[in-house]
Amino acid sequence: MSTSVEQVIFQEVAPEYWGQACAELMKQDRILKKIIPKYGSGFLMTRGDAFTTLARAIVGQQISVAAAQSVWNRVLLAAKKKVNPKNILALTVEDLRGAGLSGRKVEYIRDLAEHFNSGRLHANQWKGMEDEVIIKELCDIRGIGRWTAEMFLIFNMVRPNILPLDDVGLIKAISLNYFSGEPVSRHEAREVAANWAPWRTVATWYMWRSIDPIPVEY
């Protein structure tokens, strides 16, 4: 009970930079000046520890949100309600396949668990490390690419200046809000986002909300 209460309290606290970021973005960007007040309630929220966040990201790759939640629930059951590196490594390939994971995702989630369990990751040092250094370390894990690493920096570490240019939702939102729905290149998206620094995470969050008013969580 205490863990869930702590988690809820944590989720209800906005990142310390959120108010300042919103104020500055509304001054710097004419589109965000309209969007932020429209979707002003809410803020970026995080949940779970580093391993849980990354494991959920692997489970959710290339399937719907509903399907991902269903598989995750079965992984939770198989891991006796606690998904951590030790419990994942204690499960057999058959156990994980039985929970609904593909053969490739079984390899990915086990490799993730082994990275954490062996100490190969510098998770305890991430707080003081630069974004790109963390991304490089995460991308050494099988099944984790730049997009997943950026989602981790946004939703687990709540880093303020992440721009996930591989995110389909972000590109769609930039297209609709800045280019009247015309196709947008990565270069054009990056040019738009240059105006958002050093709060590109916050701007991205509002871009997502402009196309889906339900706040994004991972």
For residues 54 and 163, is the Cβ–Cβ distance under 8 A? no
Stretch 118-136: mean pLDDT, rounded?
93
Measured over the CA atoms of residue 122, residue 126, residue 128 and residue 132, the dihedral's sign is positive
User: What are the distances in angstroms from CA 180 to CA 80, 84, 164?
Assistant: 49, 45, 21
Say which residue the tokens 């609904």 belong to.
Answer: 100
Does the structure show a pLDDT above 60 at 1? no
Return the minimum-mean-pLDDT range out of 7-11, 43-47, 116-120, 193-197.
Answer: 7-11
Fill in the DSSP letter of residue 182.
-
Give the pLDDT score at 217: 66
Largest Cα separation within the chain, whole Å, is: 55
Supply the pTM of this predicted model. 0.83
Model confidence band, residue 18 (pLDDT cutoffs 50, 70, 90): very high
pLDDT in tens, 24-38: 999 999 999 999 999
Q: Which spans in 91-167 are helix H?
A: 93-98, 103-118, 131-139, 146-155
Model confidence pLDDT, tens digit, residues 62-104:
888 788 889 999 999 999 888 999 999 999 999 999 999 999 9
Query: How many residues can be counted in the chain?
Result: 218
Bond before 198 cis per omega within 30 degrees: yes
pLDDT digits (tens, 9 = 90+) for 111-121: 999 999 998 89
